[in-house]
Amino acid sequence: MNAALITSPAGVMAALIGVVAFWFWLERQSRWRIFEFLPPLIFIYATPVLLSNTGVIPHQSAAYDFLRQYGLPVFIVLMLIKVDVMGAVRIMGKGVFVMLIGSLGVVLGGVIAYLLGRSMDIGNFFPLAADSWRAFGTLAGSWIGGTGNMTAAHAALEGSAEHLTMAAAADQMVYLVWLPILLGCKAFADRFNRWARVPADRVERMEKAAAEFGGKEQAPSMIELLYLALLAIGCTWLSMGLADRLPPVVLGGATVITASTWLILLVTTLGLLASMTPARKLPAAQSIAMVIIYVYVARVGATMDLRDADWANMGAFVMMAYVWIFIHGAFVLAGAWLFRVDVHTLAIASAANIGGAASAPIVAAHHRESLVPAAILMALIGYAAGNYLAILTGRLGQLLSG
């Protein structure tokens, strides 16, 4: 469209926030079962695609630039200051290592699936486009951490809107298959635990540690909100200044660390350092972070031009994503056997990767409701590692494909 109905940056921002608010309101008010299979995230992404491609909002706006430049790094800081590695280890024990092995499976599985897709030649669907490593890195962010890591990796790898569309589509299509597997494996708990040589008192010890974990957050005070704002904006300012001064890194003739990549790596590191200080106790950081990231997802959807989409490449990507997820599954199974971890922990560890903070508590509640707090902590560890490992996944695919 040559001219959009809404062109003002303030109007565009209001439209994006309105889309996010509407879908969460509809989920809460209607309680439709469709949201159990297709979470609001999908509609939050798809609605601005429709709005921008029908001329309601533009494909380009100063509002989008602002969210990309400032919104994403602020989100990363706010999310990562809540990471509590030792809290998760106290409850889940070696289960944390199973989750990290699953993260390694996502990295290696993503590279293998990308190279396999590039080498195949089947009709019009293969091989994958040469720059699909950006989509693999983007999806790796979601499968190691969550939505925030997916958008951060997408920005760091300088992906297009189409790459995020590919990642989001594959994420949900695989999720529809993988989540029932994680929930259903509870029925095989006894046989699995015998196979994995799980100590008889492991589950009891986990539940006892979970019962000692801290309670809910209190409502933030004005001064606590000011502290959060200072921390998030200060880390963003410092990271942007350093990213502009650091040189790009070139390997094998390919630029693997650009200014965008430096920014994500720096702000992630500063956020993790802040989590080791009393700042971790500041309330409301995660809630504010999730508001920002959902608006950012809507922003990416608005920049998607359907006229430029390569649907065959998207289909090939989704097919390779199913190969990818079973490589991850093999890794978590191996980790469970190696560390003698029960099936409940295995399911939570995989959900903390593949589903993130949204799905890990659901899986935990189905297996052992007392482990829900630990599931959230494990998902936050995924957030901590997700940006680094997702960028690594994409860049490895770039380098190995030549």
Number of neighbours of residue 187 by Cβ within 10 angstroms:
10
Is residue 98 one of the residues assigned to a domain?
Answer: yes
Give the distance from CA 109 to its chain's centroid.
16
Locate tokens 């890794």: which residue?
Answer: 331
- Asked if the structure places residue 216 within a domain, the reply is no
Q: For 258-294, how does the pLDDT look when each residue is reduced to its tens digit (9 = 90+)?
A: 888 899 999 999 999 999 999 988 998 988 988 898 8
Query: Residue ranges of the alpha helices (H) in 67-94?
Result: 72-80, 85-92
More confident residue, 3 or 391: 391
List the one residue out of 399, 402, 353 whose CA is nearest residue 379: 353
Q: What integer pLDDT is reported at residue 122 of this predicted model?
A: 64
In the predicted structure, residue 100 carries a pLDDT above the cut 80: yes
Domain count for the chain, please give it. 1
Tell me if 3 is assigned to some domain. Answer: no
Per the structure, the complete domain to which residue 20 belongs is given by 9-211+221-400
The residue behind tokens 């190279």 is 115
Domain-located, residue 1? no
pLDDT in tens, 62-84: 999 999 899 989 988 998 898 88
What local confidence, expressed as pLDDT, does residue 1 receive?
44
Task: Tell whether 4 is covered by a domain.
Answer: no
Q: Is the pLDDT of residue 216 over 50?
A: yes
Query: What's this model's pTM, rounded to 2 decimal places?
Result: 0.81
For 18-54, what is each residue's pLDDT tens digit?
999 999 999 999 988 888 767 787 789 889 989 999 9
